[in-house]
């Protein structure tokens, strides 16, 4: 499916491809990426830690005793309170992002999550535990939306898809750490068996608080606030290793300035504009459905209720379940990172269609194997069910883990990026809240038949992706800014970049950065 009429000519993308020096040989870029690891890429470790922490503490007898063995709706609301808190925060997130910048949004959200983890660790009853999880959920979208935007806007275009893909892959670092800690604390025969993991959930947020102001602000945010000189210095330092005469940085700066100017002229920075034009409505529909797909594809069943799933197929030993959980998260981390490193090699639509199709096949096999066990009580069917649980991970990670934020950053222009990812979060968190609440009810009431609902939904996902998802592969963010808009807007931005490359006179740019910043007359685009 073609991406649409308003795609800019890949002028800058061709310049990027001409750069054959790898990132690890560029000192400033190495430093930037090392700092992005704890401050932005590591944000999803908090989400991963939470999903596995609430999953594995249920295995601890002391947690079950302290909260009177919660089941059904009570167990559902304990797990779902995290997503409910995130939904409540979403109206504020774009305002903080677009007013104070990406870094301050991460700083603010991290402190909220530190508070939530302490409340959770020292909860005295189920209501306090639920409130603590609501507070944790309230803080996470500030960090996720700001962090994913900041990485996409700071990274060198060649590595941007990999960096934004690793953002979600680090989810499994958090889940693996939580699974390991919770498994280790099971030997503690008192309430610290679950209080320690809850307390340590503050770890990733404290790291973000310590390091966040060591990285630069988004150049695009600075340009939108009329701080172009600061933005230019950041691009020169990290994208050109300090070379102010870099042809690429001058072309990049021209592209960003021109595209943002056109965006701002056609944007009121309001929620209403998200549905005011056909192009924005299409983006919103795609972003909304992607939010549903990331949570309604069966992943919350494994992330939050592995304990219940294993009970259904006859595994009740806490030691076995703890070891299997650690193994599952280790496997998920390995395949998620490997898939993230391959995103530059394949078109986005190909990866999404492969993901949804593989998930459907996996769930069909899982449903059949679970039905066979519950009918025959055969150990072979139980082992086959575990096989499908392990196979689910790489199938999901091909698209919904590796590409989610890469695709969202490419889909929405800068002026609407924070709001667009907020809409994605709203539908994703809403879907997560719904599934985490109803999963234990469905498993309790209809057992293996509950998996059939996921099979039906996954079939719908394949159809929607095929007809609605545009291709965004191989373009810079600015070249995709007018993906569904008039081609004339994309051409206007392209002409400005070509003028900069061919050194046609640009009085504003010359006045701002000096005569020496212009590229050579003899340099032509190949």
pLDDT one-digit tens code per residue, 306-339:
878 888 888 888 788 878 888 888 898 899 999 9
* pLDDT value at residue 490: 65
pLDDT, average across residues 84-90:
90
Bigger pLDDT: 48 or 353? Answer: 353
pLDDT one-digit tens code per residue, 137-193:
999 999 998 998 898 899 998 888 888 888 888 888 888 888 788 878 878 888 898
Percent of the chain's residues with pLDDT above 70: 90
Q: How far apart are CA 59 and CA 179, in angstroms?
A: 11
pLDDT, average across residues 267-287:
86
- Is residue 511 within a helix (H) or strand (E), and if so which, with residue range? helix 507-513
Block residue for tokens 């998260």: 329
Bigger pLDDT: 366 or 57? Answer: 366
Residue 77 pLDDT grade (very low, low, confident, very high; cuts 50, 70, 90)? confident
* pLDDT value at residue 504: 42
Whether the pLDDT of residue 515 is over 60: the answer is: no
Q: How far apart are CA 505 and CA 519, in angstroms?
A: 11
The answer to whether residues 353 and 465 touch, using CB atoms and an 8 Å cutoff, is: yes
Block residue for tokens 């701080």: 227
* pLDDT value at residue 312: 85
pLDDT one-digit tens code per residue, 362-374:
999 999 998 898 8
Whether the pLDDT of residue 351 is over 90: the answer is: yes
Residue 284 pLDDT grade (very low, low, confident, very high; cuts 50, 70, 90)? very high
pLDDT one-digit tens code per residue, 2-47:
445 556 556 677 777 888 888 899 999 999 999 998 888 888 888 8
> Which residue, 191, 190, 261, 251, is CA-closest to 226?
261
* pLDDT value at residue 493: 64
Whether the pLDDT of residue 90 is over 50: the answer is: yes
| Residue 467 in tokens | 């007809």
Helix-, strand-, coil-residue percentages of the chain, each rounded to 5: 80, 0, 20
pLDDT, average across residues 469-484:
82
Whether the pLDDT of residue 285 is over 80: the answer is: yes
Block residue for tokens 């990426």: 33
* pLDDT value at residue 489: 65
* pLDDT value at residue 496: 67
Whether the pLDDT of residue 509 is over 70: the answer is: no
């Amino acid at each position: 499916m073609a991406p649409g009429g308003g795609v800019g000519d890949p002028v800058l993308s061709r310049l990027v491809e001409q750069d054959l020096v790898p990132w690890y040989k560029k000192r400033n870029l190495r430093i930037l990426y090392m700092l992005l690891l704890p401050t932005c890429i590591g944000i999803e470790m908090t989400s991963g830690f939470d999903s596995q922490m609430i999953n594995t503490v249920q295995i601890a007898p002391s947690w079950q005793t302290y909260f009177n063995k919660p089941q059904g709706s009570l167990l559902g609301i304990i797990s779902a309170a995290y997503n409910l808190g995130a939904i409540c925060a979403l109206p504020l997130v774009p305002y903080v992002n677009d007013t104070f910048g990406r870094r301050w949004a991460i700083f603010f959200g991290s402190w909220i999550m530190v508070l939530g983890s302490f409340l959770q660790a020292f909860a005295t009853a189920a209501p306090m535990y639920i409130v603590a999880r609501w507070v944790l959920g309230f803080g996470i979208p500030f960090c996720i939306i700001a962090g994913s935007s900041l990485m996409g806007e700071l990274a060198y275009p060649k590595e941007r898809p990999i960096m934004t893909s690793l953002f979600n892959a680090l989810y499994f670092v958090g889940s693996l750490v939580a699974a390991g800690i919770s498994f280790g604390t099971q030997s503690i025969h008192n309430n610290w068996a679950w209080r320690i993991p809850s307390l340590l959930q503050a770890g990733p947020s404290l790291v973000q608080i310590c390091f966040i102001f060591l990285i630069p602000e988004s150049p695009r945010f600075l340009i939108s606030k009329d701080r172009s000189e600061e933005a230019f210095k950041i691009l020169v330092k990290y994208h050109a290793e300090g070379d102010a005469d870099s042809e690429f940085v001058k072309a990049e700066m021209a592209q960003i300035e021109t595209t943002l100017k056109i965006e701002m002229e056609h944007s009121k920075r309001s929620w209403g504009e998200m549905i005011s034009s056909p192009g924005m409505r299409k983006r919103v529909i795609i972003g909304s459905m992607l939010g549903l797909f990331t949570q309604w594809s069966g992943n919350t069943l494994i992330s939050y209720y592995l304990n219940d799933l294993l009970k259904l197929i006859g595994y009740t030993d806490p030691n076995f379940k703890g070891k299997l959980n650690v193994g599952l998260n280790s496997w998920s981390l390995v395949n998620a990172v490997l898939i993230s490193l391959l995103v530059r090699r394949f078109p986005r639509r190909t990866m999404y269609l492969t993901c949804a199709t593989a998930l459907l096949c996996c769930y069909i096999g899982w449903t059949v194997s679970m039905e066979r066990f519950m009918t025959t009580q055969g150990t072979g069917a139980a082992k086959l069910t575990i096989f499908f649980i392990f196979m689910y991970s790489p199938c999901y990670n091909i698209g919904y883990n590796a590409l989610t934020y890469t695709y969202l950053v490419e889909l929405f222009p800068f002026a609407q990026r924070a709001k667009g990812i907020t809409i994605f979060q709203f539908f994703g968190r809403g879907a997560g809240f719904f599934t985490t609440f109803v999963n234990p009810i469905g498993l309790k009431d209809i057992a293996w038949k509950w998996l059939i609902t996921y099979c039906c939904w996954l079939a719908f996902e394949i159809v929607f992706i095929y007809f609605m998802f545009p291709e965004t592969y191989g373009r810079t963010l600015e070249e995709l800014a007018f993906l569904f808009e008039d081609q004339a807007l994309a051409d206007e931005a392209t002409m400005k970049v070509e003028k900069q490359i061919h050194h046609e006179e640009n009085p504003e740019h010359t006045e701002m950065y000096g005569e020496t910043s212009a590229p050579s007359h003899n340099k032509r685009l190949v």
